[in-house]
Amino acid sequence: MDRKTATIQDVARVAGVSTATVSRTLSKPSVVAESTREAVLSAVAETGYRINSTASNLRRQRTGSVIALIPNLANPFFSQILAGMSSVLAPAQLGLLVADTQTGTDPEARLADFLQSGQADGLVLFDGTMSPGALDLPGRPPVLMACEWMGGDLPSIRVDNARGAEMAVAHLADVGHRAIGHVTGPPGNVLTETRLSGFQRGLTRHGLQARADWVFGGDFSMDSGAAAARRWLALDDRPTALFCASDEMAIGFMGAVQHAGIRVPEDLSIVGFDNIDVVAHLTPALTTIRQPRTVIGVRAAELLVDMIDAGSLTGPSEVVEVEFIPRKSVAPPRAARG
Amino acid sequence: MDRKTATIQDVARVAGVSTATVSRTLSKPSVVAESTREAVLSAVAETGYRINSTASNLRRQRTGSVIALIPNLANPFFSQILAGMSSVLAPAQLGLLVADTQTGTDPEARLADFLQSGQADGLVLFDGTMSPGALDLPGRPPVLMACEWMGGDLPSIRVDNARGAEMAVAHLADVGHRAIGHVTGPPGNVLTETRLSGFQRGLTRHGLQARADWVFGGDFSMDSGAAAARRWLALDDRPTALFCASDEMAIGFMGAVQHAGIRVPEDLSIVGFDNIDVVAHLTPALTTIRQPRTVIGVRAAELLVDMIDAGSLTGPSEVVEVEFIPRKSVAPPRAARG
DNA sequence: ACAAAAGATGAAATCGTTTACAACAGATTT
DNA sequence: AAATCTGTTGTAAACGATTTCATCTTTTGT
């Protein structure tokens, strides 16, 4: 049969028309006559022709794919976001390339490389730890920040992190906690900062004071949550409730304190952030702040596609709502019960 | 400065050489004279030239990327595998495209589409639920099966699932369990079948018998694990230990029974499969069978790249070792202790 | 019935590379 | 001194599509 895959030339020959007509039949069928359209389509079927996207892309000066640049690909937080992105990119005939920023030695150089390589029509950047100037490159494609963001006025999609943190604190205060601690993300990260400031605002709104020895530095990982728990255990005067800036840290924290014989929520209340899938199945199920990850992925892709279609480097920013998910890891403090 | 990005023509003009020489300087520097090489490189620097990969790919009849086809992109199990793949593909100048198979209506059609679209130089398929003939397409690129597999002699990478299951059962039997149950994956899945057969072989090796009412159908998800737990709770004559075919199901199962007041491991021992990150932080930490996901990703990419370089549709298969990870979710049964 | 508009098609240029081939210089062999 | 070889470079033809422009029919309007 066909040694090689058929080209548009083959189709044209079989259909008895020019390559221009074949191309038109496939891209804007309305402009070709009905009879020729049928001839072309049956020739396509006969030859098994598939459009060569590389050639098409070259001629049309595009690449047919977008890149999702993630801090760390191994982080399962992003898988659902990728799924959301994929669900809008696939119908738009765009491929989804993935790569991570924190893998090599120089993240900014890696970003610059992707921006200039011309491998993608657009880029979704999930890493906010770049210097603002890192995007000042001639001829770069549109970039959308997602989840994290950085200085400048880049279009972005994110949740209201401060508000989420405030909701967490509010709930803890409402059930009677006066001694509330916090486990933060890594220093310098925007999510760390906004969630911390939301935490503090929540405290002051409830007439509480932040205590420096009650905020524990972490890095969003489970291990860092466990490490924070060990510092909490070593305290003489412990907070009775904790807001962790990520579910992963909450998991690590809760596991470590339970291991030490502390009961959650009887002895300690914990609230997480993200609502990753697993936390609903923990014992106790974790109370947390939900980030709608699928929605974030979908909207990120949609916003980026809009920018690509408009040929614009700028675009709107969007913030999607977080949601408080009450479960079983929060209870009134002992004092309030006793 | 530069309105558009510089092309090889621009570099050639600036360096005072032909485009052929520029191309050679960049691809095989050894064949051009030292002096011209310098001239070209400085012209490259001056113009800020970046090779246009689309044009290059078209000419070289390749695409510069590979696709990872995953059953469900939202499944975090794969994120670490992707990270492993990325770490070998990036240095090889190959992009990593991701897509899922179970999202649309017809997974096989979707697979065929990817195979014929010419969007990738190779494909790693993580979904074994395809009919063996689904790959009989003319001119398709090399395909490597990973984790799952299907009939035929496709090159593949996977773990020894049966052996892993057998290790789990052996450990449970060794600590004294005689009543061991199993939560399976979805019907028809190769992992379901091999892990089930390993489970059964483990039982018979220890002189135990499989009981039909002690194997619970699941689908690898946490929810299905919780559902299985509810069936287990309804039993009059319960097994004292359970081997779950995935960590996710083990998490769901454990959460549900704990919620019902059952203590793990005192009342019930549980072993999982996969060793996903979170299980080390559960209470109790989950005993499980480790699949080296990063290694799987790395080797998958390496094997595929070998096939691509060799231009061959066939290649070796590899099975990587599983590892038994003892933690805290297994204890001798009550009878053996009392 | 004639001009003008509309509709359908094809010829050929173009996108930006890579590479087979030819050409040429200088060095080496006979 | 002619012939051969080696090393370096340029010319030009691909790769496979899309799209501008021109051409040739048909309709339509007056």
Chain A positions touching B63 (Cβ under 8 A) are 54
CA distances to A53, A128, B74, B101 from B110, rounded to whole Å, are 17, 35, 18, 7
Q: Decide which of B2 and A53 is more confident.
A: A53
My answer on whether A175 and A274 are in the same domain is yes
CB atoms within 10 A of CB B255: 23
Q: Which two tokens stand for residue A66?
A: 């977008």
Under 8 Å CB pairs connecting chains A and B tally to 164
- For chain A, report the end-to-end CA distance as a whole number of angstroms: 84
Tell me the nt nearest to B59, Cα to C1'.
D15
C-beta atoms of B74 and A79 within 8 A? yes
Q: Which ranges constitute the DSSP H helices of A49-158?
A: 53-60, 79-89, 107-116
C-beta atoms of A97 and B96 within 8 A? yes
Strand C surroundings (CB within 7 A): A 16-21, 24, 31-33, 35-36, 55, 58-59, 61; B 4, 7-9, 19-20, 23-24, 26-27, 49-52, 55-56, 58-60
Determine the distance between B134 (CA) and D19 (C1') in angstroms: 37
Nearest alpha carbon to residue A236 among A206, A264, A265, A211: A211
> Residue B269's domain is classified under what CATH number?
3.40.50.2300
Determine the distance between A77 (CA) and C29 (C1') in angstroms: 71
B186: helix, strand or coil? coil
C-beta atoms of B283 and A53 within 8 A? no
Residue B102: the pLDDT is: 85
Q: Which two tokens stand for residue A215?
A: 């905020």
- DSSP for residue B274: B
Q: What is the mean pLDDT of chain B?
A: 94
Tell me how long chain B is: 338
Tell me the nt nearest to A58, Cα to C1'.
C15
pLDDT, tens only, B216-250: 999 999 999 999 999 999 999 999 999 999 999 99
> Residue B34's domain is classified under what CATH number?
1.10.260.40
Q: Which ranges constitute the DSSP H helices of chain B?
A: 8-15, 19-27, 34-47, 53-60, 79-89, 107-116, 161-174, 190-205, 222-234, 247-259, 293-310, 334-337
Q: Which two tokens stand for residue A122?
A: 């657009």
Residue in the block written with tokens 């009878």: B335
My answer on whether B83 and B29 are in the same domain is no
| Kind of pairing between the strands at B288-290 and B323-325 | antiparallel
Chain A positions touching B80 (Cβ under 8 A) are 73-74, 76
My answer on whether A74 and A31 are in the same domain is no
Tell me the nt nearest to A23, Cα to C1'.
D18
Pair B144, B154: CB distance under 8 Å = yes
Pair A111, A132: CB distance under 8 Å = no
Determine the distance between B19 (CA) and C27 (C1') in angstroms: 28
Total domains present in chain B: 3
Q: List the single range of A265-269, B103-107, B140-144, B319-323 with lowest mean pLDDT.
A: B103-107
Pair A183, A249: CB distance under 8 Å = yes
My answer on whether B198 and B247 are in the same domain is yes
Determine the distance between B31 (CA) and C30 (C1') in angstroms: 29
Q: Which two tokens stand for residue A30?
A: 């309305």
Residue A102: the pLDDT is: 85
| Kind of pairing between the strands at B288-290 and B269-271 | unpaired
My answer on whether A279 and A187 are in the same domain is yes
Determine the distance between B160 (CA) and C5 (C1') in angstroms: 74
Chain A closest CA to B227's CA: distance in Å? 12
**Do the domain assignments include residue A241?**
yes
Please give the residue of chain A at the shortest CA–CA distance from B64.
Answer: A119
The dihedrals phi and psi of A68, each to the nearest 5 degrees, come to: -100, 115
**Do the domain assignments include residue A56?**
no
Residue B100, judged by CB atoms within 10 A of its CB (0-12, 13-18, 19+), counts as buried
My answer on whether B99 and B174 are in the same domain is no
Dihedral angle computed from the Cα positions of residues B72, B77, B78 and B84, in that order, rounded to the nearest 10 degrees: 180
Pair A300, A85: CB distance under 8 Å = yes
CA distance A78 to A72: 9
My answer on whether B263 and B302 are in the same domain is no
CA distances to A207, A242, B254 from B132, rounded to whole Å, are 66, 53, 37
**Cis, bond preceding B284 (omega within 30 deg of 0):** yes
Residue type at position B315: G
- A4 CB and strand D closer than 7 A: yes
My answer on whether B31 and B154 are in the same domain is no
Could you say which nucleotides of strand D lie within 7 A of any protein CB atom? Answer: 7-12, 14-20
C-beta atoms of A48 and B138 within 8 A? yes
Determine the distance between B4 (CA) and D22 (C1') in angstroms: 30
Would the pLDDT of B322 be above 90? yes
Determine the residue among A278, A293, A295, A327 to mutate to test chain B binding: the one whose Cβ has the most chain B Cβ atoms within 10 Å.
A278
CA distance A269 to A291: 21
| Kind of pairing between the strands at A269-271 and A318-320 | unpaired
Chain B positions touching A87 (Cβ under 8 A) are 103
C-beta atoms of B63 and A54 within 8 A? yes
Determine the distance between B43 (CA) and C26 (C1') in angstroms: 28
- DSSP for residue A185: -
Would the pLDDT of B132 be above 90? no
For residue A272, the enclosing domain spans 161-290+324-337
Residue B202: the pLDDT is: 98
**Do the domain assignments include residue A2?**
no
Residue A338: the pLDDT is: 47
pLDDT by residue for chain A (338 residues), tens only, comes to: 445 789 999 999 999 999 999 999 999 999 999 999 999 999 999 999 999 999 999 999 999 999 999 999 999 899 999 999 999 999 999 999 999 998 878 899 999 999 988 999 999 999 999 888 888 888 899 999 999 999 888 999 999 999 999 999 999 999 999 999 999 999 999 999 999 999 999 999 999 999 999 999 999 999 999 999 999 999 999 999 999 999 999 999 999 999 999 999 999 999 999 999 999 999 999 999 999 999 999 999 999 999 999 999 999 999 999 999 999 999 999 875 54
Tell me the nt nearest to A61, Cα to C1'.
C15
- A14 CB and strand D closer than 7 A: no
My answer on whether B83 and B97 are in the same domain is yes
Residue B338: the pLDDT is: 47
- B177 CB and strand D closer than 7 A: no
**Do the domain assignments include residue B197?**
yes
Determine the residue among B67, B73, B249, B293 to mutate to test chain A binding: the one whose Cβ has the most chain A Cβ atoms within 10 Å.
B73
**A276-294 as b/e: b if 16+ CB within 10 A:** bbbbbbbbbbbbbbbbbbb
Would the pLDDT of B77 be above 50? yes
CA distance B220 to B147: 14
Nearest alpha carbon to residue B196 among B175, B158, B168: B168
Determine the distance between A8 (CA) and C21 (C1') in angstroms: 28
Residue type at position A38: E
Pair B157, B317: CB distance under 8 Å = yes
Q: Mean pLDDT, to the nearest integer, of B77-102?
A: 94
Chain A positions touching B55 (Cβ under 8 A) are 58
CB atoms within 10 A of CB A107: 18
B311: helix, strand or coil? coil
CA distances to A172, A231, B29, B290 from A204, rounded to whole Å, are 13, 24, 65, 46
Would the pLDDT of B323 be above 50? yes
C-beta atoms of B251 and A278 within 8 A? yes
Task: Give the percent of chain B with pLDDT over 70.
Answer: 98
**Do the domain assignments include residue A165?**
yes
Residue B76: the pLDDT is: 87
| CA angle, B65 then B71 then B73, to 5° | 70
CA distance B168 to B164: 6
CA distance B203 to B207: 6
CA distance B104 to B323: 35
**Do the domain assignments include residue A204?**
yes
- The neighbouring-strand residues paired with B324 are B289
Nearest alpha carbon to residue A90 among B95, B79, B103: B103
My answer on whether A330 and A189 are in the same domain is yes
Chain B positions touching A64 (Cβ under 8 A) are 119
Residue type at position A40: V
**Do the domain assignments include residue B24?**
yes
C-beta atoms of A283 and B80 within 8 A? no
Chain A closest CA to B204's CA: distance in Å? 33
Residue A172, judged by CB atoms within 10 A of its CB (0-12, 13-18, 19+), counts as buried
**Do the domain assignments include residue B1?**
no
Residue B337: the pLDDT is: 55
My answer on whether B189 and B333 are in the same domain is yes
Chain B positions touching A82 (Cβ under 8 A) are 73-74, 98
Please give the residue of chain A at the shortest CA–CA distance from B285.
Answer: A255
Nearest alpha carbon to residue B7 among A123, A122, A61: A61
- Give kind and range of the element (H or E) at residue A244: strand A241-244
Q: Which two tokens stand for residue B138?
A: 């003319």
- A281 CB and strand D closer than 7 A: no
Pair B270, B248: CB distance under 8 Å = no
My answer on whether B285 and B178 are in the same domain is yes
Please give the residue of chain A at the shortest CA–CA distance from B80.
Answer: A74
| CA angle, A97 then A98 then A103, to 5° | 145
Residue A136, judged by CB atoms within 10 A of its CB (0-12, 13-18, 19+), counts as exposed
Beta sheet of A180-183, edge-to-edge order: A215-216, A180-183, A241-244, A269-271
DSSP letters along A6-59, please?
A: --HHHHHHHHTS-HHHHHHHHH-GGGS-HHHHHHHHHHHHHHT----HHHHHHH
Q: Which of A57, A97, A103 sits opposite B97 (nearest CB)?
A: A97
Pair B228, B218: CB distance under 8 Å = yes
**Helix orientation angle between B161-174 and B190-205, rounded to the nearest 10 degrees:** 40
- B33 CB and strand D closer than 7 A: yes
